[in-house]
Amino acid sequence: MIRSEQGRLTSRGLRSLVETGVQTGLGILALAPFVVLVGLVGYLIWVSIPVFRYMRWGFFSHIAWNLGNLYAYHPVLVHGVRVMPGAEFGAFAFLLGTGLTSLMAICLAVPIAFLLASAASFGVSWPWRNILAILVEMMAGVPSVVFGLFGFIVLGPAIATQVGPWLNHWLSPIPFFSGPVTSETNLLTATVTLTLMVIPIVATTTRVAMARVPRDWVDSARALGWTEHEVFWHVIWPHSRAALTGGTILGLGRALGETMAVLMVSGNALNVLPKNIYSGVSTMAATIAGQLDAALTDPTRMAVHALGTLGLILMAISLAVNLIARVVVVSDGQTDHAGGGLAHGIL
């Protein structure tokens, strides 16, 4: 009697031990997303403090990015921060580069993506429809460095020899579009490369929403004698508008944070603002990747911290954009697609 009672107690004790163990174990592992996010944000804020103490608001408005005299004997103390003499960290050119490349890419990508989505969900006949959907999703999965390669090998020369001179010839009255095309890696190449990368994301998000419009509505509209384009404008489009907005913002998030492709095709201009679309630029993401090596030579570590500050600003912008996209896409009832706003087109 007693033994069996004890036996039950021990097995129950073991069972609750396992229970607690499983819950605690899972709970600890479930902290991972918090640890990563808090770690990233916290660390970047921490490295940014000396940068802002040194540069103040000039970090946002200055154009020059200069590590200072690295051969100087001693670092100097400015605003309580040790820096090399003459060092200056202005992010304005990179902010502008990121903004220009992303916004121009979005402007080019959204109309094309919209057409693709309409074609893949409705506009073209069925074998092509499925082929198109698969192709677009495959393009979303192509690694960004491959887009960089394509931009570097194909788009760059084409823009330098054909597209650029042609645009310059026809659009030269518009100031930003006129100027000699001197290099293959420039703002225009970066924009077109980014456009190629953004199209699949916008197109997929929109296509899924369009394909979701109930078949009955489409059939009813057809039964009324409407043609394809009338069905599209009056039935499909009103129900996929929000998805196009959400997809656009997701695509913008991708374009803002893109590193490798931009690093390969933008020209990586430092200390200058782009004069026209044929000049080299650099973005925040590409600068972090491209300048980290050089920044490590700064004995005061200030240059590395300044790159971290660029990362912090970039992250803040990307997070804001993604949260907005999430609100838009979620309010459209698309949570189960794209994981409620995951920017990667592969999912």
* Pick from 249, 268, 167, 153: nearest CA to 201: 249
Q: Write down the least CB distance from residue 54 to other proteins, Å.
A: 18
Among positions 247-266, residues that touch other proteins (CB under 8 A) are 253, 256-260, 263-264
Q: Is 270 in the site for other proteins (CB under 8 A)?
A: no
Q: Write down the least CB distance from residue 177 to other proteins, Å.
A: 23
State whether the Cα torsion 229-230-235-240 is positive or negative. positive
Task: Indicate the burial class of 295 (C-beta count within 10 angstroms; 0-12, 13-18, 19 or more).
Answer: buried
Determine which residue in the list 160, 277, 288, 328 makes contact with other proteins, applying CB under 8 A.
288
Among positions 109-138, residues that touch other proteins (CB under 8 A) are 112, 115-116, 118-119, 121-126, 128-129, 131-132, 135-138
Which residues, listed in sequence order, are joined to residue 78 by a DSSP beta bridge?
81
Phi and psi torsions of 65, nearest 5°? -125, 105
The rounded distance, in Å, linking the Cα atoms of 161 and 178 is 15
Q: Which is nearer to other proteins, 156 or 274 (CB)?
A: 156
Determine which residue in the list 9, 22, 45, 171 makes contact with other proteins, applying CB under 8 A.
22
The rounded distance, in Å, linking the Cα atoms of 201 and 236 is 19
Determine which residue in the list 1, 2, 26, 223 makes contact with other proteins, applying CB under 8 A.
26
Q: Which is nearer to other proteins, 86 or 219 (CB)?
A: 219
Position 89: which residue type?
Answer: F
* Pick from 305, 314, 317: nearest CA to 51: 305
Q: Please spell the DSSP secondary structure of 289-327, one letter per residue.
A: HHHHHHHTT-TTSHHHHHHHHHHHHHHHHHHHHHHHHHH
State whether the Cα torsion 30-256-264-90 is positive or negative. negative
Q: Which is nearer to other proteins, 188 or 263 (CB)?
A: 263
Q: Is 19 in the site for other proteins (CB under 8 A)?
A: yes
Q: Per-residue string for binding with other proteins, 138-177, x by CB under 8 A?
A: xx-xxxxxxxxxx-xxx-----------------------
Phi and psi torsions of 301, nearest 5°? 65, 5
Determine which residue in the list 8, 43, 162, 224 makes contact with other proteins, applying CB under 8 A.
43
Determine which residue in the list 109, 187, 314, 328 makes contact with other proteins, applying CB under 8 A.
314
Q: Per-residue string for binding with other proteins, 205-244, x by CB under 8 A?
A: ------x---x--x--------xxxx-x------------
Determine which residue in the list 40, 45, 49, 171 makes contact with other proteins, applying CB under 8 A.
40
